[in-house]
Chain A
Amino acid sequence: MSKKFGYMTLMVCALGIALVTGACGKKTVADPGTDPVPTDTSNNLPTDTGDNGDRDRQGITDGGENPDRPMTLSDVFFDLDAYSLRSDSRRLIEANADAILANPNWRIVTLEGHCDERGTVEYNLALGQKRADSVKGYLMQLGVPGNKLQTISYGEERPFDTGYGEAAWAQNRRVHFAR
């Protein structure tokens, strides 16, 4: 499937970028072609390309920020049919909350709720919304102002992994942090 191949390429690129930035320790040069810093964050709705638009599951690695503070916001994963937060998810959200609080110049962080392909379109839209809301609720408990967060659900419509089977599905039951 060409779509899947394209996805794999994206994934490899994203991993590559993550590795490079990780290996450098300090990020000195931001590649503007990779993940441009949005110039206007006042209307930071995700633009829909009609494709699986997740650029970087490992999170945002753009430069121009305080290099001593964490730059990446990890995706948070969920169990089947569930929108409750697992303990590993809570730890990831806590790290993400630290990153958001450490970077007050970040404006809006969008929490994108996603589901695996099982279940119907409409229920999964609602489930994705619940997942995004769960993450938002915990972030706010951790002190992140609600006006820095917005949620959107893509249900099962934008899977990270378009494969079939639990390995792919586990990747798709997630909340992605987009800035």
Chain B
Amino acid sequence: MIPFLRTFAFLCVVGLAGVGSVRAQDGSNSGDTGPKEFDIQILREAADKTPILVRDFTYQGTPRKLLTRGEAPEEIIVQDLEFSDFFEVGREGYGSRISNVDAVVWGRVVERFGKVVLQGQLVDSETGDLIYENEYPLGDPPDRWALHAFSDDIVLYLTGERGVASTRISFVGTATGSKEIYLIDYDGARLSRVTTLGSISLSPAWSPNGKGLAFTTFASGNPDLVRLEVGTEDIVAVSKRQGLNSAPAWHPDGEHLVASLTFEGNTELYWMKKDGSGLKRLTFNASSIETSACFSPDGNQIAFVSDRTGQPQVYIMDTDGANLRRITYLNGFCDSPDWSPNGERIAFVGRIEGVFDIFTITPDGNTGSLHRLTGGEGNHENPSWAPDSRHIVYAKRTGDGQRLFVMAATGQGKRQLTWSRGDQYNPAWSPPLSP
């Protein structure tokens, strides 16, 4: 039978040197070689990946077709499964060196009532048992979103955890000369622009059901907090108070937000309903900045940034403002927290010797848990977790401008996600999306 991978330890800490004393980065480093040159922690994947084979689909009464971007449908499945990090994936007929595969992915494409349907199957290769079977509206030409749905189901049935193939990333792009909100699929496909405001729009935040985005826009002159339903351009005001209405974060209930407002004179965190009413101030530190809030997945706590000690650092408090505690102590600058969806880690940006890198730490702030995920040249900013808590998207300046990159939560497998004109930054990874 297939081993149920959920119980695997994904990471094994094999080195724990220099805890609490981060060594300065060597300025001569070149390239983005990951964390291996740093002595905070060395990570490696402990669990062997499950070998899995993707067989060619068969076609009955409908011709084989490629996707609009030229990929074969099976290729999408292979890419999705590889990205999940759980599998060693072979593809039938492509010189797979995998022996003794544990599971086989297969599909039959049929036409039914004028619609092209994929009958996807997952088979235990040892016993021949059918593990999972479902139908997906493949369409003509084949729709990558239907294939992503099949991929995520495969991951779910083999590991107990849902894949992230059916997710998108929202970000700020400057290709038009304005700063607009954009979307791109997790794999870099289907780039689309959400706003046409001709202004500065920032800090997109996904509503928990993946249907809405809150963001800050200067479209009316003042930095206002607004939201919209994805797929529409109907912008609804959340908070248009004088001054900043910035850094929105949705509570998991989908009905409330926390944002940073300045209408009372200082940048403080406020709790509000999604229509901006029911305002409740959460921080009371008149001399310092409080911003960049994010919720713990259970909604009971908020991680945020405060510079009350003179430099920005990450703090946690209960959602009612009680039980404040500081969790980062990197000398310099810690900012941009994002709580992993499984609750286990908080990603943030730390600046050491003038360079910004991405770190994660456990919510208890234990310095022994600190992982540094980026290094080498350039600034790495604004981490955002994928819903699987195993991947992170971030922005990095390249020679051509700021670009989005995706990596595993170990810091491995960094790859560039966006290649558009202008800058792409301020990313936010969506929750699982329905087709």
User: Is B246 interfacial (CB 8 A cutoff)?
Assistant: yes
In the assembled complex, which residues on chain A have CB atoms less than 8 Å from the CB atom of B151? none
Q: Are A45 and B222 in contact (CB under 8 A)?
A: yes
Q: Are B292 and A123 in contact (CB under 8 A)?
A: yes
Known contacts A121-B425, A123-B291; decide if A154 and B333 are in contact (CB<8 Å).
no
- What is the total number of residues of chain B having a CB less than 8 Å from a CB of chain A? 44
A interface footprint on B156-186 (CB within 8 Å = 1, 0 otherwise)? 0000000000000000100011110000000
Q: Are B199 and A129 in contact (CB under 8 A)?
A: no
Q: Are B244 and A126 in contact (CB under 8 A)?
A: yes
Q: Are A122 and B246 in contact (CB under 8 A)?
A: yes
Q: Are A121 and B221 in contact (CB under 8 A)?
A: no
User: Is A50 interfacial (CB 8 A cutoff)?
Assistant: yes
In the assembled complex, which residues on chain B have CB atoms less than 8 Å from the CB atom of A54? none
Q: Which residues 371-389 in B have Cβ within 8 Å of A in the complex?
A: 379, 381-382
Least distance between A166 CB and chain B CB atoms (Å): 9
Residue from B177, B200, B291, B312 in contact with A157 in the complex, judged by beta carbons closer than 8 Å: B200
Least distance between A138 CB and chain B CB atoms (Å): 16
User: Is B329 interfacial (CB 8 A cutoff)?
Assistant: no
Residue from A117, A119, A126 in contact with B267 in the complex, judged by beta carbons closer than 8 Å: A126
Q: Are B223 and A125 in contact (CB under 8 A)?
A: yes
Least distance between B234 CB and chain A CB atoms (Å): 21
Q: Are A123 and B221 in contact (CB under 8 A)?
A: no
Cα distance A96–B314 when bound, in Å? 37
Cα distance A152–B349 when bound, in Å? 26
Q: Are A120 and B381 in contact (CB under 8 A)?
A: yes
Cα distance A154–B422 when bound, in Å? 18
Q: Which residues 211-251 in B have Cβ within 8 Å of A in the complex?
A: 216, 218-219, 221-223, 243-244, 246-247
Least distance between B401 CB and chain A CB atoms (Å): 8
Contacts A50-B177, A121-B426 known; 4 new A-B pairs at CB < 8 A:
A120-B381, A120-B382, A126-B289, A154-B200
Of all A-B residue pairs in the complex, the 5 with the closest CB atoms, nearest first, are: A50-B178, A45-B221, A122-B247, A126-B267, A126-B289
Chain A residues with CB under 8 Å of chain B are: 3, 45-48, 50-51, 81, 117-123, 125-127, 129-130, 133, 151-155, 157-158, 164
